Structure 1
Amino acid sequence: MIQLKRLFSEVEAVETSDCIVDLPQGARLLVQLKCTPTAIVQVQLKRLTPAQIEPPRPQKTSKLAQAAYQQLVAYAQGKLQVFDLPLAAVGTEFQHQVWQALLQIPYAHKVSYQSLAQAVGCPQGARAIGQANGRNPWPLLVPCHRVIRADGSLGGYSGGLEIKKYLLAHESQMAHPG
């Protein structure tokens, strides 16, 4: 299970590693990981077009980045539903509370911003939930893509709505094949 850790004045060297993850629906994601020696501090997602099929330039990667890449590949293959990686970030108490609640959303399930607000004890805070999701430093690893609007529309996503749509479709397909 993912453990969230707070970063305060700890200053550790941050290494950036890029990896490409292919989802079965034909989406190819560039996943950029920013890692300290002990935790992942940020994930950025970018959908690659067919013209962008070259992998990123080779680089030295940490054991943590390699473990993350292995888990991302297992997720893409439908073999992993919950990531088990150390994460750390600066954030408010409320943001950490929301990010922790995101970890409780089951694979292939969706919840509304409103229901997540109620779950964290802030029933009128759907907009605040959306803002905390937007500041989630680990999209995909902490599954903010599973949060949608009450009317069923997607809402927002830091990696872009196209990636959110792919991730939701991927999880649905893996959880309910055929």
Structure 2
Amino acid sequence: MLQSEGVETVGIDPTQPLLDEARRQGGAADYRLGRAETLDFPDGSFDLVVSYLTLLDIPDAAAAIAEMVRVLQPGGSLLIANMNSFFTAGPPDGWSKEPDGTSRFCIDNYMEERADWVEWSGIRIRNWHRPFSSYMALLLGQGLALRHFEEPMPRGGDPKRNVKYQRVPFFLVMEWRKA
């Protein structure tokens, strides 16, 4: 999407098959095998760093956030789109059916940072639940200023699924600015 707006992009992922798929789908991005915790770029290399559904997959979020801030230019933005901590506190049980057929979502051990194995569409991955306060402390600790926060509702797609996201927030978007 950024490329379609004329933005030069560099994509980082620790999984070669995902990089291969990104290349297959087109675009002229510079795709590199790497990890957010050890970015191979000089300080201040970028005016925008995007973390899209990555922080929940990284065991050492503190190192990843510090690296994202390190490679960000002063005045630059760190855009984070992540699963909402209310939602990640649900696995492994999450949604369940009550005897009367009513769906309920169970949030448990919200304040406990932990990893849970989750699976969808044939993909099995370890996601980290962290209370929102953990992310906030890490980001504020880097001297960043919050410029935007949103818990967007899905647009389009399955209406039944979308109704669930009115009950339990699934996603959040934040823009942080480096001083």
Tell me the TM-score range normalised by the shorter chain.
Answer: under 0.3
Higher-strand-fraction structure: 2
TM-score by length of structure 2 reads 0.23
TM-score norm. by structure 1 comes to 0.23
Structure (1 or 2) with the larger CA radius of gyration = 2
Which structure: greater helix fraction?
A: 1
